[in-house]
Amino acid sequence: MLLEVLQGTEAGGFILLQDTVSYSGRHLLKSYISTALKRLHFHNAYSDPLGWTGNSAFTVHQFTLEDVSTLIKQTPQAKAVTLVIDSLSWILRHHDPAAVCQRLQALKKGGAVRTVIVLVHTDMHQRGTVGSIRHLATSVVTVAPGTRGLGAVAKTTRRTKSGKLMQDEETFSINEDLSVTIHSKLSHPGHTHVNTDETEVDPTANLTFNLRLSDTERQAKEKLALPFVFSKEKKSALLQPGPGSGRILYEPDANDDYDQEDPDDDLDI
């Protein structure tokens, strides 16, 4: 599936490439760029990201919808632009994650770019921040070092247009020409399909006792008068004021313990 994601860079989408300090995803990012490359326009926001020298053409604070759209419009063949951000982690450290997601979504939906590819260093952020970016992505590739030094491992999750999720895990290596070679699939043969439209499993299906009611039992349940539940007639009778309303009537019972003596006699002076 890793090759399918690579080939899909020309078809559009939002590709999230996740790495950690244990393995850099930048080599795979370069492979993505090489696959989608027709003409490269490079905007350097790395050498002076905060604009301290005053000579930077683009800074991290200029990651706004207006500024990015202006750069894209200045690019020839602006109708077929692939936006690559290396890395989005630096932007997330200086902007509100919600605002970053909104701008990326606006760039993609507004037709300013055809494909968005971002590299995120997941161990620099909280899970909620990474989860927000994952929610936007149509493909998520998480890379990690391989066992015994044999290449690297890529866990790929791709969401189709129908809403299905396809997951795969593969070992790969990147050649000198930036092409990708798949060595093996670590998961079971074929793709793992996660159908989001799948009907929910009935939790009462395999029980040894019956939780369902028959029609006769349901009718008997509906006719049952529960204690301390007032009917409509009783409620209306209690709510309608009648003769003597507002008075408290007490009828003494034969078993009442009533003492004729004043209990406070000993307090009199």
CATH code (residue 156): 3.40.50.300
Task: Give yes or no for residue 15 having a pLDDT over 80.
Answer: yes
Question: Is position 73 within any domain?
Answer: yes
The average pLDDT across 134-146 equals 91
- Pairing, β 165-174 against β 192-194: antiparallel
Quote the tokens at residue 269: 């002076």
Task: Say what the pLDDT of residue 199 is.
Answer: 46
- pTM for this structure? 0.62
Task: Say what the pLDDT of residue 196 is.
Answer: 44
The average pLDDT across 76-91 equals 80
Task: Say what the pLDDT of residue 269 is.
Answer: 56
Question: Is position 176 within any domain?
Answer: yes
Q: What are the pLDDT digits (tens) for 196-241?
A: 444 455 555 666 667 677 788 888 888 877 766 666 766 676 666 6
Task: Say what the pLDDT of residue 140 is.
Answer: 93
Task: Say what the pLDDT of residue 130 is.
Answer: 92
The average pLDDT across 13-37 equals 87
Question: Is position 252 within any domain?
Answer: no
More reliable by pLDDT, 58 or 206:
58
The total of structural domains in the chain comes to: 1
DSSP H helices in 94-244:
97-109, 127-136, 215-223, 232-239
Question: Is position 212 within any domain?
Answer: no
The average pLDDT across 87-116 equals 85
Interior/surface letters 104-139, b for 16+ CB within 10 angstroms, e for the rest: beebbeeebbbbbbbbbbbeebeeebbebbbebbbb
d(CA 177, CA 76): 26
Question: Is position 229 within any domain?
Answer: no
Mean pLDDT is highest, among 16-20, 108-112, 248-252, for: 16-20
Task: Give yes or no for residue 143 having a pLDDT over 90.
Answer: yes
Task: Say what the pLDDT of residue 120 is.
Answer: 93
Structural domain including 77 reads 1-186
Count of C-beta atoms within a 10 Å radius of residue 164: 15
Task: Say what the pLDDT of residue 144 is.
Answer: 92
Q: What are the pLDDT digits (tens) for 149-206?
A: 678 999 999 888 787 888 899 999 988 888 888 888 875 444 555 544 444 555 556 6
The average pLDDT across 231-260 equals 66
Task: Say what the pLDDT of residue 9 is.
Answer: 55
Task: Give yes or no for residue 38 having a pLDDT over 60.
Answer: yes
Question: Is position 163 within any domain?
Answer: yes
Is the distance from CB of 172 to CB of 151 less than 8 angstroms? yes
DSSP H helices in 111-207:
127-136
Task: Say what the pLDDT of residue 248 is.
Answer: 65
Task: Give yes or no for residue 70 having a pLDDT over 80.
Answer: yes
Question: Is position 195 within any domain?
Answer: no
Q: Positive or negative CA dihedral for 157, 112, 9, 122?
A: negative
| Share of residues in the chain with pLDDT > 70 (%) | 67
Task: Give yes or no for residue 249 having a pLDDT over 70.
Answer: no
Task: Say what the pLDDT of residue 243 is.
Answer: 63
Distance of CA 52 to the CA centre of its chain: 36
| Share of residues in the chain with pLDDT > 90 (%) | 11
Task: Say what the pLDDT of residue 189 is.
Answer: 45
Q: Which residues contact 267 (CB under 8 A, 6 or more apart)?
A: none
Question: Is position 192 within any domain?
Answer: no
Element (H, E) at 155: strand 152-159
